[in-house]
Structure 1
Amino acid sequence: MMNDTIHIPVLLHEIIDIFQPLPGQCFVDGTANGGGHAFALW
């Protein structure tokens, strides 16, 4: 049986505020699912 659940990033906007990404910076999203935080920083 397949599991069709979708990962929803938690505290997405708070994480972006903490990291304050700048162009050219590199971040690694070490989660084992959808990479939602990394996508939002991109």
Structure 2
Amino acid sequence: MNDGIDGEFPFLDDVFLVVVFLRAIKLSERAKIGILLRN
């Protein structure tokens, strides 16, 4: 059974999730700063 990329590089999914998670944190931090600056 070959799942393609997932089968050969299972760690890529983890890396992708980490990148998405870090981007979400950056966006939330920017949103907080934006809200603080508006007030």
Question: Could you tell me the TM-score, scaled by structure 2's length?
Answer: 0.26
**Higher RCO structure (Cα 8 Å, ≥6 apart):** 1
**Greater helix share, structure number:** 2
Question: Could you tell me the TM-score, scaled by structure 1's length?
Answer: 0.25
